[in-house]
Amino acid sequence: MNSIPISVQLYTLRDLVAKDFAGTVQRVAGMGYSGVELAGYGNLKTPAEVKRVLDDLGLIVSGAHATIESLEDDLSRVLDAQQTLGNRHLICPWMPEPRRKDADGWKAVAGSLNRIGQACAGHGIEFAYHNHAFEFQEFDGKPALDLLFENTDPRFVKAELDVYWIQHGGHDPVTYINKLRGRTILLHLKDMASGPDKKFAPIGTGILDFKSILNVARDVGVRWGVVEQDQTYDTPPLEAVRTSLENLKTIAGPT
């Protein structure tokens, strides 16, 4: 798709992979996705099992989420799992509220992420932080997300920017992707429905300007676009991710 491969974050399909990981990712492969981003292994037990299933389907692990607690307390085990999976992108997807109450808290987080990212680099793995909307609360006159990246080493801490949550936080996704040019290696793609509730929506059915988002993503060298929809409401999750992929192909245009 104009040089940016597309994967799906399996958190969107969490109820399905919890019952049948292999069958669910088979459906994903059949839709035309190139890879999956992991948030656990569903009903499988080990990274080796996951790797076998994905290899059989020709799917790549585009990245994997790991909690900050596991990254700080058991990083060796986490890194061993990534090696087994063949994964080269490890992502911290969330920061607990007690650690993000003020600027000092975010600076402490930055120090921890630097250490994790340096260890990842030593294993040939790139480490990234994934944002929600709370990172746009301001401290010292700037969004926490800016504070975080200003206090981390760009060699060791990259960005997995989530375009929906940037919009939800009152900012422009294109501007932020440009701001973190060279560090935005992964991009979470989901749309926002019109209206005050700001509901999650399949790509191409909401208010985000995905033509501009895809253009800047190509320009800054994003490695993977990752379709995610935290809630699909009355739409079956597999139908939602199929719609997102089909609309992305239309928006991106011919390769």
Provide the domain count of the chain: 1
Establish if 187 belongs to a structural domain.
yes
Establish if 69 belongs to a structural domain.
yes
Give residue-wise pLDDT tens across range 30-44: 999 999 999 999 999
Establish if 1 belongs to a structural domain.
no
Report whether pLDDT(84) > 80. yes
Confidence band of 255 (pLDDT split at 50, 70, 90): low
pLDDT of residue 230: 98
For residue 111, what are the domain limits? 6-252
For residue 117, which of 144, 146, 148 has the smallest C-alpha distance?
A: 148
Establish if 42 belongs to a structural domain.
yes
pLDDT of residue 3: 79
pLDDT of residue 253: 82
pLDDT of residue 2: 52
Give residue-wise pLDDT tens across range 160-202: 999 999 999 999 999 999 999 999 999 999 999 999 999 999 9
Average pLDDT, the chain: 97
Establish if 28 belongs to a structural domain.
yes
d(CA 118, CA 240): 37
**CATH code where residue 22 lies:** 3.20.20.150
Establish if 39 belongs to a structural domain.
yes
Give residue-wise pLDDT tens across range 123-140: 999 999 999 999 999 999
Neighbouring residues of 157: CB distance < 8 A, sequence distance ≥ 6: 110, 113, 114, 117, 127, 128, 129, 149, 183
Give residue-wise pLDDT tens across range 213-253: 999 999 999 999 999 999 999 999 999 999 999 999 999 98
Report whether pLDDT(1) > 60. no
Percent of all residues in the chain with a pLDDT value above 90, rounded to a whole number: 97
pLDDT of residue 168: 98
Report whether pLDDT(119) > 90. yes
Establish if 124 belongs to a structural domain.
yes
Establish if 188 belongs to a structural domain.
yes
Alpha-carbon distance values, 152 to 103, 147, 213 (Å): 14, 9, 25
d(CA 253, CA 255): 7
Structure tokens at 69: 């607690």
